[in-house]
Amino acid sequence: MDHSLHPLFKPIQMNGTYSNSYYVEKIPATGLMAYVACYWESGSLSSTRRDVAKGAGRDQSVISVPARVLPDGCTDMLITYDPVRSKYAYAYCGNYTQPFTIPEPSDDGPPAGDYTFGVRFFPGGAHVFHGMPLEWFTDKRVALQECWPEGLNELQERMAETNSFAERVEVMNAYLNPLSVQTNTAENDLMKNVLHRIFIDGGRMSVQELAMREVISERQLHRRFSEWVGISPKRLSEVVRFHRVLSDIHQGNTADWAMLAQNHGFFDQAHLIRQFRKFYGETPLTAAREHGRMLSDLYNRSVESSVILRS
């Protein structure tokens, strides 16, 4: 894989605006940027931090925007900490092909101190580490030890000693840096080339043309893609096109929906709405109302790290 692919595909995740939670992101170490999109963490604010957030000036009568998990071609390693039981849970999530919302936590739970630390792998990135076909994990969440046994005990011990997001980032950088496995150079080049074509064309190029340009059969391309990315090249192309539309909405380009549909290669406005609903769960109009709260700064702003407090 190649870190130069990252600027070509910047999916948006809808992290919501819940008043009793936080969200933070950071880019990985330089040597991991070809595989890891970012590290992220979400969790519950302490009562003190909630009061600070509420005093930041936001009108508390404004209805919260829900946190949405949107298909984006990425997979995640998740480390969840439960402060009540003082226990960690380690999991790996494959590609989600359907969107879903995360309910707003109540004010009396979960307890402050709980968090989920995540490693968001860029499409094709996770395969380099665990070497397993990603299609095995599509729409699944499995215990990390089932697919990632390499040095897991050491990682668990070091994570248990951390006290902050910054410390967890350092631990994960040190863990992942020496772990990447040797991959077939021809396969790596094929995936890099195909992803580049999909990203550059905004997901509009047909699978037939992708295969033709790489001098490979459609069947072989589908098999390689399923192994490395976990979904078909057609589905990833649809996801990329959806995120291009979502990016336009995020930037306020919603004056002419018919033109938006045409610019992204949809047959008409109705076609755009159907495809958009499949990956967002709501219509483009709903996304337009929520766009001011779409928060995933590393994908969409030129900053090294970001902290977003929900208020």
Residues 157, 284 within the same domain: no
Residues 116, 253 within the same domain: no
Tens digit of each residue's pLDDT (9 = 90 or more) over 86-134: 899 999 999 999 998 877 665 555 556 789 999 999 999 998 888 899 9
Give the structural domain span for 302: 3-182+293-309
Diameter of the chain measured on Cα atoms: 60
Residues 115, 161 within the same domain: yes
Give pLDDT, residue 191. Answer: 93
Residues 299, 163 within the same domain: yes
Residues 208, 246 within the same domain: yes
Residues 133, 47 within the same domain: yes
Maximum average pLDDT range among 53-62, 155-164, 245-254: 155-164
Residues 159, 262 within the same domain: no
State the pTM of this model: 0.84
Helix (H, G, I), strand (E, B) or coil at 91: strand
Q: How far is CA 235 from CA 207, 260, 277, 279, in A?
A: 10, 20, 15, 11
Tell me: pLDDT of 55 over 50.
no
């390689």: which residue's tokens? 224
Residues 160, 203 within the same domain: no
Return phi, psi of residue 165, to 5°.
-60, -45
- For residue 210, give the CATH number of its domain: 1.10.10.60
Mean pLDDT, the chain, rounded, equals: 83
Quote the number of domains for the chain.
Answer: 2
Tens digit of each residue's pLDDT (9 = 90 or more) over 66-88: 778 899 999 999 999 998 888 99
Give pLDDT, residue 252. Answer: 81
Q: Report yes or no: 29 and 179 within 8 Å, Cβ to Cβ.
A: no
Question: Could you tell me where the DSSP H helices lie in the chain?
Answer: 47-54, 127-130, 152-159, 165-176, 185-200, 207-213, 218-228, 233-250, 257-263, 269-280, 284-290, 297-300
Maximum average pLDDT range among 150-164, 180-194, 241-255: 150-164
Tens digit of each residue's pLDDT (9 = 90 or more) over 235-279: 999 999 999 999 888 888 777 889 999 999 898 999 999 999 999
Maximum average pLDDT range among 47-56, 105-114, 197-206: 197-206
Give pLDDT, residue 250. Answer: 83
Q: Report yes or no: 273 and 284 within 8 Å, Cβ to Cβ.
A: yes
Residues 95, 129 within the same domain: yes
For 16, what's the count of Cα atoms within 13 Å in the CB-facing half-sphere? 20
Tell me: pLDDT of 307 over 70.
no
